[in-house]
A = this chain, B = another copy of it.
Amino acid sequence: MSKLTEIAKRANVSRTTVSRVLNNHPYVKPEKRDAVLKAIKELNYVPNLNARNLSKGKTNVIGVIVPKINHPFFSNLIEGIGNECNKYNYSLLVHQSNNDPEKELQFFDLLKYKMIDGLILGSCVSDTSVIDELSSYGKIVSCEYSESSKVPKVFVNHEYGIQMTVDYLKAQGHQKIGLCIGNPRSGVGISRKKAFFKLQREYSLKWIDYWYFEKQYTIEDGFEVAKKILEQPSRPTAMVVGSDQVAAGIIFETKKQGIMIPEELAIVGFDNQPISKGVELTTINQPIKEIGENAASLLYSIIHNQDVPSFTTLELQLIKRNSA
């Protein structure tokens, strides 16, 4: 494993010159450059990034933390982030927190320890104070609403999304509307819940506590939710569901039991994932990939000390299909 010094020797130049060639610096005479390149070929030289990282004080790696990779929302988000990283020649370190604050802290250390140049919070349950403190160690961007004023945020207006769906359902005469969300402690969960119950009171809709479900993420969770809804003595006539996966699960199970959708139970999802087309789910289109791309691009900017807006809001859109 030959190192830079050997290249320098063989090419009869200084290590600096070799380094310059490696980094495409100007001010290197073509002859020398060629000599270096030749030596590199001959000795089969391979640079060592750890040395470079240490010396430069950066790694060209950014991290992203999500509860779980294998969820369409997050893998979509990561795809967007990853695409953008490719553009900048950054690598992407992915960590699953499982919504466990301990695991989050563990990953945050990588930012403190200079292993990553920046961090994207896909979703995060840690306190604002934790994020605030962390932000003094490195650059952070959040993909959801956060109280922390030190972190640029790129997200969609979940309140507005909820408002669109509730208004839409109300306009169709629904008075008994249930709610099903994912993690109630994440930024997204908090916004949606708050928005829903605000409207719920404002419009004086009917309400029974067991019309509320949380921590539901998958198609299979949807099966269970559907079962619970259908065995309730007093059913909602419509459900606002924070995830297309869960919504699809509800539809599958509901139809299986012979209940008509939307006549007996209307469903509105969230995300406009491919599956929603399949089950003809009315849903809120959310530009997930764009959120990821934007987040990565913002992070890149702040790493390079450029100013960025502290809020970036992307548009939501109601997609009408046949489930409501």
**Sample (6) of A-B pairs whose CB atoms are under 8 Å apart:** A49-B114, A50-B50, A70-B76, A92-B93, A93-B93, A223-B277
Q: Verify B54–A50 contact, CB threshold 8 A.
A: yes
User: A278's contact among B69, B70, B79, B252, by CB below 8 Å, is which?
Assistant: B252
Say which size band chain A's interface belongs to. Answer: 35 or more
Query: A86 to nearest B CB, angstroms?
Result: 7
A95 at interface, CB cutoff 8 A: yes
Residue of A48, A74, A75, A252 with highest tally of chain B CB at under 10 A: A75
User: A50's contact among B59, B76, B94, by CB below 8 Å, is which?
Assistant: B59
Given contacts A86-B96, A94-B92, A96-B83, whether A50 and B53 have CB atoms under 8 Å apart is yes
Closest B residue to A94 by beta carbon equals B94
Closest B residue to A51 by beta carbon equals B54
Q: How far is the CA of A302 from the CA of B103 in the complex (A)?
A: 26
Cβ–Cβ < 8 Å partners of A218 in chain B: 274
A205 at interface, CB cutoff 8 A: no
Q: Verify A61–B137 contact, CB threshold 8 A.
A: no
- A270-311: which residues lie under 8 A (CB-CB) from chain B? 274-275, 277-279
A262 at interface, CB cutoff 8 A: no
A115 at interface, CB cutoff 8 A: yes
A68 at interface, CB cutoff 8 A: yes
A248 at interface, CB cutoff 8 A: yes
Cβ–Cβ < 8 Å partners of A53 in chain B: 50, 53-54
A154-167 interface mask toward B, CB cutoff 8 Å, 1 = contact, 0 = none? 00000000000000
A130 at interface, CB cutoff 8 A: no
Q: Which 8 A-B pairs have the closest CB atoms?
A: A75-B75, A70-B79, A252-B278, A219-B274, A50-B54, A49-B113, A49-B115, A70-B75
User: A112's contact among B46, B69, B112, B248, by CB below 8 Å, is which?
Assistant: B46
A101 at interface, CB cutoff 8 A: no
User: A72's contact among B47, B70, B115, by CB below 8 Å, is which?
Assistant: B70
- A181-198: which residues lie under 8 A (CB-CB) from chain B? none
A143 at interface, CB cutoff 8 A: no
Q: Verify A113–B79 contact, CB threshold 8 A.
A: no
